Amino acid sequence: MSVLLLNASYEPLTIVSWKRAMTLVLTGRAELVEQDGDRVVRSAGGAEFPFPQVVRLIQMISFAGMRSNESPRFSKKGLSARDNRECQVSGCDDHGSTVDHVTPRSRGGDTSWENCVLMCLEHNGVKGDRSLEQLGWALKQTPVAPTSSIVMLTARPEWDAWLLPA
**In the prediction, which pLDDT does 153 show?**
59
Q: Are residues 56 and 86 in the same domain?
A: no
Predicted confidence (pLDDT) per residue in 37-78, tens digit: 899 999 898 899 999 999 999 999 886 555 556 677 888 888
User: Which residue, of 15, 45, 63, is where some domain finishes?
Assistant: 63
Whole-number pLDDT of residue 100: 96
Residue 110, pLDDT score: 95
The pTM assigned to this predicted structure is 0.59
Is there a single domain that holds both residue 92 and residue 14?
no
The residue from 63, 93, 108 where one domain ends is 63
Is 132 part of any domain? yes
Indicate if 81 and 153 belong to the same structural domain.
yes
- pLDDT for res 70: 67
Segments forming the whole domain that contains residue 14: 2-63
According to the model, what pLDDT value does residue 37 have?
87
Highest mean pLDDT among 6-20, 72-86, 96-110, 136-150: 96-110
The answer to whether residue 155 is domain-embedded is: yes
Beta strands of the chain (E only): which ranges?
2-6, 12-17, 30-42, 48-57, 98-101, 116-119
Q: Dihedral, CA atoms, 24, 28, 32, 37, nearest 10 degrees?
A: 70
pLDDT greater at residue 83 or residue 156: 83
Name the DSSP class of 88.
-
Same domain, yes or no: 41 and 9: yes
Query: Using one digit for the tens of pLDDT, what is the confidence trace for 77-127?
Result: 888 888 888 999 999 999 999 999 999 999 999 999 999 999 999 999 999
Total domains in the fold of the chain: 2
pLDDT score of 64: 54
Instruction: Quote the pLDDT of residue 151.
Output: 58
Residue 93: name the closest of 118, 130, 62, 110 by CA. Answer: 118
Domain end, chosen from 63, 79, 104, is at 63
On whether both 79 and 154 belong to a single domain, the answer is: yes
166 found inside a domain: no
Residue 157 has pLDDT above 90, yes or no: no
